[in-house]
Amino acid sequence: MSIYQCPSPNASTNTCDVLKYLIVMLAVLWLISVGTERLGYNWQWYRVPRYIFTFEDGHLAAGPLILGLMVTLQISGISLLLSFAIGLTAALFRLSDSHAARFLARCYLEIIRNTPLMVQLFFIYFVLGPVLGIERFFSAVLALSLFEGAYTSEIFRSGIVSIQKGQWEAAYSLGLGRFDTYRYIIMPQAIRRILPPLTNQGISLIKDSALVSIIAVYDLTMQGQVIIAETFLTFELWFTIAAIYLAVTMTLSVLVNFLENHLSVQV
Amino acid sequence: MIKVPKITLLDVVIMLVVTGILGYIGYRITVGIHYKWNWSAIPQYLFRIDKNNGGWTANLLLQGLFTTIRLSVWATLLATILGTVAGFFRISKSLFKRLLGRTFVELMRNTPPLVLIFIFYFFVSDQIMSFLGVDDFIRNTSERTQSVITFLFAPPRFFSAFISAAITVAIFEAAYITEIVRAGIQSIEKGQFEACNALGLSWRQQMQYVILPQAIQRILPPLAGQFISTIKDSAIVSVISIPELCFQGMELMAATYLTFECWITITVLYLTLTLSLSLAVERLEIFFRRSTA
Amino acid sequence: MRIKPSSPEDIFAGVILAVITFFMVCFVSPVLAGDIQNKLVAESTIEQVMKRGVLKVGMSTFVPWAMNDKQGQLVGFEIDVAKRLAADLGVKVEFIPTKWAGVIPALLTGKFDVIIGGMGIRPDRNQKVNFSIPYDYTGQAIVANKKLAAGFKTLEDFNKPEVTIAARLGSTSVTAAKQFMPRAKLTLFDDESQAYQEVINGNAHAMVGSAPTPAFQALKYPETLFSPIEGTFTKEPNGFAVRKGDYDTINYFNNWITVVTAEGWLKEIKHYWFETKDWESSIQ
């Protein structure tokens, strides 16, 4: 039986499969707990909640982990906007007539896409930081924006290139200059097509922002490391942090799906 | 007629701006922060004279580069196996398998790799390594086997850490390879599947003789791109002290405090590695495009 | 009921059975009693190390406790201690460089047998691992940025919310900084050198680290750094850390430390690595 000849799924095979899946997931969790017991690790989940939130004077106060999450979201948000700006500029440079612009964009893309983000973070913080006088938070934002900007520029470029040539020709015959063509004709259509991949960049950014902990920016991962260094609640905290990241990125994924379904272009 | 490149206004503006920025940076480095360049200290970290046989051998930085290459190669191999299996799960007719595949991919793609590394480092290495009893086995083999293992993987004392790092990176990359495999198989025209049905081939025969040979041509170029991605992602394992290139860079910076020279050298080393591989991948893509044309 | 007469095979089997039972009774009781003891010994880290033939030591780069020299080999005070320990045990030594902030979890998950890396004995760490008796005493020192911390002379000067202190994540410097300068902001790094770099670059007012390195750094970069306070402001014992519940191993280590201290060997190598700078050329 081939892939395209599935037996029509009926309720009982579906529930059977779902049950099997749940059993496998539970088995995995059980394996984890058994495995760590063998190591002599003593789980202390009851110590974790105070790092998420605390009750102070009768109202809810954010614990270190939530504060770190705020910083993560802040860095990701600012970097996202900045990376759009950088990416759009790089895409336009690559498509322009100017040799210098194309060369510059190409250099930028090749360097950024071929070196690890960690190396770029260290480079910007330890080398460019003292030179240009940029402090920690902005170094992190700059490094993330430059890194994601390279991938965003490819998205922008593919969006612009996907607009049919007829649109360009019509704009030219109407006497519109290059800038006006981009502004009124090309970009509005291109952006509708690339909005889902662009929002995917947001998810990428949140994941990559975890790396800024290596230059001691107090984001979610850094806060986790500090707490673990003091309390040694290694596994509990790493799983909690992973769960928080998952919650944020899954929410964004749902948003992306929603956008994809409602903005899909019928070409 | 020789084509003279047209100089546009944008060209001029860009060249002025770039020169201005470079000039400013140069000024700040020499006058602003009085950085004392010391490039002469770097080459000794690339090569050193081996006391035993008097020849040149690789020192920390090059050793880190080789470790990065080995780590990426093994991680990609493992990830391809795991990713192919998961890819088949994703397109399977069984909902159970589809759910498993989807969970795996979504979990790995939505968690930051840094967090995954920390979690796997404390779990994977112990469970799997002590289960396989690899450590003691490696220690007790002959000199020659040990040198082969050192060449292929890592010196015996780093062996289990290396394998854990490789497995961790492999699990992470496998999520992306799953999608590549899935896209490759789903890009085969429906007609092929229908023809297989008409011929009465079983699922296994269909995959083996018809679908996979065609899909592999579409999968290989993105797979090679994923290999290059793995080289970059391998930098993350430096946080668990695997002596690969980024880690050696941090050690170098710690030993000499020559931040500028150190990070410029590391960037150049990574660029050399990935750019040369990118060129090779481009050749590969052209080869495959020609053979399917 | 008639008792069946025993055939020769039956008698033979009966005798064998009796002999076996006799031996079992003789040996089982002491075996049962000594069994728990044997198990403890067999599971002890020292036994496993000797069986394996290698002592796996977890450490982190910490000048001058452990550093890489120009040949890429590990050298330092802790390296010498570990090498001597392994030699006395009759096994080889393997160093597993680990991120300092994760060194205790790594020990707990079995990545190495013992932490020999200038680890300070602290009650909160003691809740997770067992320590040997102290073999070394260190203290925290502070080095500051000349421009940012101009005129600061006491620890109280640094105890202000605008002041940033850099330190190594997971080290006793963090505890010391929190204890003496609770209102200052802390920036924590995995590596000591990154923390020093912060101060040199002017992103932090001061760095708290284990002596003697802060003083060395002040000497190395006299234009940017200075030592606001001479000497150390805390005194901390350092010990070997092993997994909990292993009396055999702790006993061995404690006695080994007592012996090498009595020999004067520990004092000798401490003097070499901490008070002289003869080793500097081999790492620079």
Domain contains B126? yes
Contact list in B for residue A250 (CB cut-off 8 A) is 106, 110
Evaluate whether residue A218 is within a structural domain.
yes
Interface contact B49, partner A, CB < 8 A:
no
Partner-chain contact C197 A129, CB within 8 Å: no
Contact A2 B203 (CB under 8 A): yes
Q: Which pLDDT band, with edges at 50, 70 and 90, does B132 fall under?
A: low
C102 touches chain B (CB under 8 A): yes
The alpha-carbon gap from B27 to the nearest alpha carbon of chain C, in Å, equals 17
Question: Is the CB of C48 inside 8 Å of chain B's CB atoms?
Answer: no
What phi and psi, each to the nearest 5 degrees, are found at residue A20? -60, -40
Is B108 inside a domain boundary?
A: yes
Q: How far apart are CA B188 and CA B248, in angstroms?
A: 45
- B240 contacts on C by Cβ (under 8 Å): 98-99, 102
Task: Please tell me whether residues A169 and A131 are part of one structural domain.
Answer: yes
| Same domain? A143 vs A30 | no
| DSSP β-ladder status, C136-138 and C236-238 | antiparallel
In a domain, A192, yes or no: yes
A136 and A225 share one domain: yes
Q: Would residue B240 count as lying in a domain?
A: no
pLDDT of residue A174 exceeding 80? yes
Q: ipTM for the complex?
A: 0.81
In chain C, whose CA is at the least distance from the CA of B162?
Answer: C96
Q: Does residue C212 have a cis peptide bond before it, meaning omega lies within 30 degrees of 0?
A: yes
From chain A residues 112-141, the ones with a CB under 8 A of any chain B CB are 114-119, 122-123, 126-128, 130-133
CATH number at residue A138: 1.10.3720.10
pLDDT at A2: 47
Mean pLDDT of chain B: 81
Minimal CA separation from B264 to chain C, in Å: 17
Candidates C99, C100, C109, C129, partner chain A, best to mutate (most A CBs within 10 A): C109
B247 or A131: which leads in pLDDT? B247
Place of tokens 């469970």: B127
Q: Cβ–Cβ of A234/C102 closer than 8 Å?
A: yes
**Chains with ≥3 Cβ pairs under 8 A against B?**
A, C
Mark yes or no for CB contact A130/C201 under 8 Å.
yes
Check if B271 contacts A (Cβ < 8 Å): yes
Q: Between residues A61 and C269, which one has the greater pLDDT? A: C269
Q: Do B59 and C72 touch (CB under 8 A)?
A: yes
* Res B184: pLDDT: 87
Percent of chain A with pLDDT over 70: 89
Average the pLDDT over B50-67 and give the result. Answer: 74
> What residue ranges define each of the domains in chain C, with the CATH number in brackets?
52-137+236-283 (3.40.190.10), 140-226 (3.40.190.10)
Which of B121, B122, B136 lies nearest to residue C52, judging by beta carbons? B136
Give residue-wise pLDDT tens across range B210-223.
888 888 888 888 88
- Nearest CB among C127, C170, C187 relative to A229 is that of C170
pLDDT digits (tens, 9 = 90+) for A13-52: 778 888 888 888 888 888 777 776 666 667 778 888 878 8
Judged by average pLDDT, the poorest of A240-254, B166-180, B259-273, C99-113 is C99-113
- Write the DSSP assignment of C27-86 as a string of letters: HHHHHHHHHHHHHHHHHSHHHHHHHHTEEEEEE--BTTTBEE-TTS-EESHHHHHHHHHH
Place A1 in a pLDDT band, splitting at 50, 70 and 90: very low
> Shortest Cα distance from A230 to chain B (angstroms)?
17
Checking DSSP bridges between strand C74-75 and strand C54-59, what pairing results, if any? unpaired
Contact list in C for residue B253 (CB cut-off 8 A) is 193-194, 197
**Could you list the residue range(s) of the whole structural domain that residue A151 is in?**
67-263
B78 domain residue, yes or no: yes
Q: Which residues of chain C have pLDDT under 70?
A: 1-7, 10, 13-14, 21-37, 39-42, 281-284
> Which chain C residue has the Cα nearest residue B256?
C284
Domain that holds residue B123: 64-235
| Contact residues, chain B, for A105 at CB < 8 Å | none
Nearest to C169 among A136, A225, A231 (CB): A225
Check whether A5 has a pLDDT greater than 80.
no
In a domain, B183, yes or no: yes
Q: Give per-residue burial for A188-213: e unless 16+ CB within 10 Å, then b.
A: ebbeebbbbbbbbbbbbbbbbbbbbb
A225: nearest CA in chain C? Answer: C101
Asked whether residue A26 falls in the same domain as residue A122, the answer is no
In a domain, B218, yes or no: yes
A55 within some domain: no
CB < 8 Å to A225, chain C = 101, 169, 188
Contact A126 C201 (CB under 8 A): yes
How many contacts does A have with C, using Cβ atoms within 8 A?
49
**CA gap B289, B270 in Å, rounded:** 28
pLDDT at B194 > cutoff 80: yes
Nearest CB to C110 within list A39, A135, A234: A39
Q: Is C159 on the interface with B (CB under 8 A)?
A: no
Report if residue A76 sits inside a domain: yes
| CATH number where B231 lies | 1.10.3720.10
Quote the CA–CA distance of A82 and A137 in Å, as a whole number: 14
- Contact: B10, A100; criterion CB under 8 Å: yes
Q: What average pLDDT does range B97-122 have in this prediction?
A: 85
Q: What is the mean pLDDT of residues A229-251?
A: 87
Weakest mean pLDDT among B27-31, B45-49, B101-105, C57-61: B45-49
CA distance C59 to C57: 6
Owner of token pair 């695997």: B242
Residue with tokens 């320990």: C85
Residue B124: band (very low, low, confident or very high) from pLDDT cuts 50, 70, 90: low
- Chain C residue closest in CA terms to B59: C72
Nearest-Cα residue of chain C relative to residue B164: C111
* Helix or strand holding residue C110 (H, E): none
Identify the closest residue of chain B to C51 by CA–CA distance.
B136
Residues of A in contact with C174 (CB under 8 A): 229-230
**How far is A260 from A192, CA to CA, in rounded Å?**
10
Interface test with B, best of C100, C111, C147, C207 (most B CBs within 10 A): C111
Domain count for chain A: 2
C175 CB within 8 Å of a chain B CB = no
Test mutation, A47, A219, A232, A235, chain C, max C CBs within 10 A: A232
Residue B276 in this model has a pLDDT that exceeds 50: yes
Contacts of A214 in chain C (CB under 8 A): 190
**Does any CB of chain A come closer than 8 Å to the CB of residue B119?**
yes
Q: Are A8 and A79 part of one and the same domain?
A: no
Asked if the Cβ–Cβ distance from C201 to A41 is below 8 Å, we say no
Orientation of helix B113-124 relative to helix A11-38, angle to 10°:
60
Please report, as a single letter, which amino acid is at residue A22. Answer: L
pLDDT in tens, C188-237: 988 888 888 888 888 888 999 988 888 888 888 888 888 888 888 888 99
Residues 22-41 in A contacting C (C-alpha not used; CB under 8 Å): 39-41
Going by pLDDT thresholds of 50, 70 and 90, the confidence category of residue B34 is: low
Q: Which of C47, C150, C61, C49 is nearest to C99 (CA)?
A: C61
pTM of the model: 0.82
Is B224 contained in some domain?
yes
Into how many domains does chain B fold?
1
d(CA B101, CA A115): 30
Give me chain A's average pLDDT, please: 83
